[in-house]
Chains A and B, each alone.
Chain A
Amino acid sequence: MGFLTIYVPDDLSERDYRRALRAGPSTVSSRRRAHDEMLASAGFTSVEEVPLTDEFLRTTRAWYYGRERYATEIAAAEGDAGFQERQADSLAQLEAIEAGLLRRSLFIAH
């Protein structure tokens, strides 16, 4: 099994942990257990993690600033409210990644 996932580091203070959950996508992992531990408990014996947080930051920036650059055209297709909501979510996520509150990795488990 291979999966890419955005998650909250398990060593954050309670305040940062709550901020990370608010800033991440609505489906962000919120269990305070390491993925390798969860995978092991599901029976996987070999787990490899490939950290991709730097790429996650670059991709989030590209989405946010790219959409800003074409705001008029994209908002016309998505509707103003939807566009603004997604941009606000994206900016909060960007700031959370920069602050070390959100990470992303590829996990390969056998």
Chain B
Amino acid sequence: MAQRRRDQAARFNERYGQRTTEAGSIVEREAIGANVGANGYTTVKQADLLADRLALTADATLLDLGCGRGWPGLYLAAKSGCRVVLTDIPEAALRAALDAAAGKSVSGRAHIVQASATQLPFRPRTFDAICHSDVL
């Protein structure tokens, strides 16, 4: 099990570290409706649905678990004005999320923490809302 987790972590790190090609951006736009460095299944429409259901406000703090390159956590923060804490394990993903945050209006409201969702370094009641996309 531990070996499998290590293999998986290495695989994710490799994937997140790959450069984005123009062709890859075209495919991403066709698949999810935006260019956000995502390689999963959460579309813009679904991120909007999530924002609506979480009813995020500007004074809220959101925790995005397994954030990858920051989609959709950064989008939710930009849309609602809330603060967001992005967590994941692969360093390559977190670096990309940090770069993405710097290029958006959320730059002062986005924080990156390298952590596993099973061992979070936060006190109870730190967050008003939690989200994750295709993470276990």
Contact = CB atoms under 8 A, between A and B. Distances in A.
Interface of A: 1-6, 25-29, 48, 50, 52, 55-56, 59-60, 62-63, 66-67, 69-70, 73-74, 76-78, 82, 104, 106, 108
A27 to B, nearest CB: 5
30 contacts: A1-B129, A1-B130, A2-B50, A2-B130, A4-B42, A4-B50, A4-B134, A5-B136, A27-B134, A27-B135, A48-B53, A52-B46, A55-B46, A56-B41, A59-B32, A59-B43, A62-B30, A63-B27, A66-B30, A67-B27, A69-B27, A70-B23, A70-B27, A74-B21, A74-B24, A77-B24, A78-B18, A104-B41, A106-B53, A108-B53
Which 8 A/B pairs are nearest by Cβ-Cβ distance? A66-B27, A70-B23, A62-B31, A73-B23, A1-B130, A108-B53, A4-B133, A59-B41
Nearest to B39: A63
B134 A5 contact: yes
Contacts of B31: 59, 62-63, 66
B19 A77 contact: yes
* Chain B contact patch, size range: 20 to 34
Given A25-B134, A27-B136, A77-B19, A106 B41 contact: no
